[in-house]
């Protein structure tokens, strides 16, 4: 059996969630390939070739793949799918956008947000906001999986020597076109990859108090800044800082929760943190 990991990248470097997905793929199959679909993405393909455990990198280069439109990336994956027993995506916004399209076209059942590989066809995934763990067996010939990065250690990013194979890019779906992207610029670490995360809740009382307490704390600790859903809904913090079931899933070495009640919705997003410090209001 051979697994294909669909890499997330910016056409120059591989994103961290891909490394966790490679680890999951190695537990599923004896051989792991990585697809780098992009435009002028040779540097990203070379970076993928350095990942420990990767046997081959497939590089598809086309202007239609430059901005990772889900329809076009899905078409590229489908062009290769017949060669693989497992197709793995990181359970990120990008992965969740592409994987269901691939599963639907293949007429198979997607297994979402796996946190453990029991065997090649059996996986664990959290349900009920993480309060229960379901064991799921897939009988489909091709397994389409999204991987929760907090459930798997990151593969070593260097030391590998995989061959890079260039393939013809699949024709774009022609159903959408890229118009623009608004990117939030942040000097702090990325929330889902940070080793330290500090999050504020509604008990801080106002956006001004949230900024006055949380931003200096994050800067002092070199931490990523997060927020509870209640704080986001109250306008204290932007939506991209939300930690929880409907926000981002984090598992840092240290998680500091300031004025957060500990609702199930929030716990689902940070309960795998190694050390949790709770500061009440």
pLDDT in tens, 180-189: 887 777 788 8
| Domains located in the chain, CATH noted | 2-167 (3.40.50.620), 196-279 (3.40.50.1220)
The pTM for the full model equals: 0.86
Confidence class for position 84, pLDDT limits 50, 70, 90:
very high
d(CA 200, CA 212): 11
Report the alpha-carbon distance of residue 52 to residue 12 in Å, rounded. Answer: 18
pLDDT at 221: 95
What percent of the chain is predicted at pLDDT more than 90?
Answer: 79
**Cα–Cα dist 164/50, whole Å:** 10
Please tell me the distance from the alpha carbon of residue 276 to that of residue 126, in angstroms, as a whole number. 20
What's the confidence (pLDDT) of residue 21? 96
Average pLDDT over the chain, rounded to an integer: 93
| Cα distance between the two ends of the chain | 53
Distance CA 84, CA 30 (A): 11
Q: Are strands 132-137 and 122-127 parallel, antiparallel or unpaired?
A: antiparallel
For range 18-32, the mean pLDDT: 95
Q: Where is average pLDDT lowest: 100-109, 156-165, 199-208?
A: 156-165
pLDDT of residue 3: 96
For range 249-253, the mean pLDDT:
92
β pairing state of 116-119 and 122-127: antiparallel
pLDDT tens sequence across 85-131 = 999 999 998 999 999 999 999 999 999 999 999 999 999 999 987 88
3 state DSSP class of 212: helix
Distance CA(6)–CA(145), nearest Å, equals 11
| Segment among 138-142, 155-159, 177-181 with least mean pLDDT | 177-181
What is the predicted pLDDT for the residue at 176? 84
Measured over the CA atoms of residue 103, residue 146, residue 52 and residue 74, the dihedral's sign is: positive
The dihedral built from the CA positions of residue 133, 17, 241 and 254, taken in this order, carries a sign that is positive
Q: Round to whole Å and give the CA distance between 156 and 52.
A: 5
């Amino acid at each position: 059996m051979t697994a294909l990991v669909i890499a997330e990248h910016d056409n120059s470097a591989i994103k961290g969630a891909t490394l966790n997905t490679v680890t999951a793929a190695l537990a599923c199959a004896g051989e792991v390939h990585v697809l780098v679909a992009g435009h002028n993405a040779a540097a990203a393909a070379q970076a993928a070739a350095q990942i420990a455990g990767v046997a081959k990198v497939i590089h598809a280069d086309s202007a239609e793949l430059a901005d990772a439109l889900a329809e076009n990336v899905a078409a590229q994956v489908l062009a290769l799918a017949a060669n693989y027993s497992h197709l793995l995506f990181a359970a990120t916004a990008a992965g969740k956008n592409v994987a269901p399209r691939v599963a639907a076209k293949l007429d198979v059942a997607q297994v979402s947000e796996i946190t453990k590989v029991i065997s090649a066809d059996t996986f664990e995934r959290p349900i009920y906001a993480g309060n229960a763990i379901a064991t799921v067996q897939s009988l489909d010939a091709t397994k389409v999986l999204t991987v929760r990065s907090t459930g798997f250690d990151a593969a070593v990013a260097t030391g590998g020597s995989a061959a890079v194979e260039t393939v013809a890019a699949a024709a774009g779906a022609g159903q959408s076109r890229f118009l623009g992207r608004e990117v939030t610029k942040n000097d702090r670490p990325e929330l889902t990859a940070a080793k330290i995360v500090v999050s504020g809740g509604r008990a801080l009382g106002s956006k001004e108090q949230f900024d006055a307490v949380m931003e200096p704390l994050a800067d002092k600790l070199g931490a990523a800044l997060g927020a509870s859903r209640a704080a986001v809904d109250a306008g204290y913090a932007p939506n991209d800082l939300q930690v929880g079931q409907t926000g981002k899933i984090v598992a840092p070495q240290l998680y500091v929760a300031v004025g957060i009640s500990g609702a199930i919705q929030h716990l689902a997003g940070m309960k795998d943190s190694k050390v949790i410090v709770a500061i009440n209001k």
